[in-house]
Structure 1
């Protein structure tokens, strides 16, 4: 955990575990106190206090002899702000060409419910799931998980994903990219993410969910990315439009910067 953060260590652990619970994690039960203490590098009493706070909020049930499990009917994850970012597509491809990528996994599997819904697929339809770490010369930049309908991903796999941006691979497979809908929020790094991005557990990350459509408005790619905010940022140009009595700010250009 980050010792220099103003939040107590138990509260940092509470925040990380709460986000994982809200994302549907720990379906089979949470690790024990000792395992969590080793994962976060803290004393067992610190973990216990974090779990007590989660239990007080109704997010978990703690039963002696049975362990700790998510509580049924717990509050759903909060929805982020949605933004239409079609002007970013060229920028995304450019970033892919100027960074290095390491493919951690590439498999064809049944689509989880949320992914199937986003991609407008039948429940359990086959999708290609790829997990990649993108880096610059300064180190890891992002951890990206993508889902693509299996028929669209038959022309590429682990080797191709390591060499080219996914949008280019889709276009080479005959997909004509149209628009993107993107959600931007914040997330705290858990142990696995912290290891891949070379940050401390509990570090704040920029969380991006992006749904790519083709020119017929068919969803063709669902992406969830975690970015280091010290190496990646969005920039939006705004202009005033409308009459003197009803001027509003609208975005005219959006770009992403990294180093």
Structure 2
């Protein structure tokens, strides 16, 4: 584990294992403590503390004589809808898509990751697919002239990824690529909240670990009301703002504004 990161070793291990759990890597159970100590080059006490943190958050179950496994969807109490403690918005995707494409033209994208994973309980519930189903995970960093703006992680069912890959992701938003592949987009449900930057995101966005970031969770549906994309976006609030215009009671027109800060 990198000694230069301003995080305890157990917390670094916890962050790595949490991400791997979200990607569905441990369908058949987590490695044992001794194997994890070899993988991370730390002592058993450090690994045990990381595992205890995952247990406290309800992400894994440790059973004597049977090892450690991810919790099931039922054990986590996961529902397809977003949590009720954040601001929710259901938008008309046509106008939202136009704004996303408009913002993309004024920024550049670096594709950090593009690979096949298996749906965790949480992601499977959101996308309404079986747990362990194949997904494409894309991680991108978007930058403006002032520097990094956002760190975006997107999940799309593998069956919907047709005719595009890492190269196309560097030039077009995934929603646009989905439309071009024949998917008719419908609505989107968003959750807007806040989150602190962990070590990996902080490095990409060039901020200190623990910096408050704008967090957007977007679940996109097609015209048949089937989920086609789950997005988790983290944005620097000094370079990005999210605006919603309420045109009339009961109707919401969302506008996204990328705000550049001069050096």
Q: TM over 0.5, yes or no?
A: yes
Gaps of at least 5 residues in structure 1 are: 1-11, 36-61, 242-249
**1:70 corresponds to which residue?**
53
**2:96 corresponds to which residue?**
88
Distance 1:26 1:79, change over 3 A: farther
Contact 2:243–2:257 (Cα < 8 Å) also in 1: yes
**1:105 corresponds to which residue?**
113
> How far apart are residue 125 of structure 1 and its match?
0.8
CA distance in 2, matches of 1:105, 1:26: 14
Distance 1:164 1:251, change over 3 A: same
**2:142 corresponds to which residue?**
134
CA distance in 2, matches of 1:175, 1:65: 44
CA distance in 1, matches of 2:251, 2:237: 22
Contact 1:178–1:212 (Cα < 8 Å) also in 2: yes
**2:27 corresponds to which residue?**
none
Given the alignment, which residue of 205, 210, 214 partners 1:202? 210
CA distance in 2, matches of 1:190, 1:64: 19
Gaps of at least 5 residues in structure 2 are: 1-5, 22-29, 59-75, 77-82
Confirm or deny that 1:257 pairs with 2:257.
yes
CA distance in 1, matches of 2:174, 2:197: 25
CA distance in 2, matches of 1:138, 1:129: 27
Q: Partner of 1:236: helix, strand, or coil? A: strand
Alignment RMSD, CA only?
A: 3.3
**1:226 corresponds to which residue?**
234
> How far apart are residue 122 of structure 1 and its match?
1.0
Q: How many residues align?
A: 206
> How far apart are residue 92 of structure 1 and its match?
1.3
Equivalent residue runs for 1:1-259 within 5 Å: 24=18, 66-68=48-50, 69-70=52-53, 72-74=55-57, 79-86=85-92, 87-238=95-246, 241=249, 250=250, 252-258=252-258, 259=260
User: Deviations along 1:33-58, whole A, 9 cap, x unmatched?
Assistant: xx9xxxxxxxxxxxxxxxxxxxxxxx
**2:61 corresponds to which residue?**
none
Distance 1:254 1:26, change over 3 A: closer
Q: Which has the larger radius of gyration?
A: 1
- TM-score, normalised via structure 2 length: 0.68
Q: Partner of 1:94: helix, strand, or coil? A: helix
- TM-score, normalised via structure 1 length: 0.69
Q: Partner of 1:72: helix, strand, or coil? A: helix
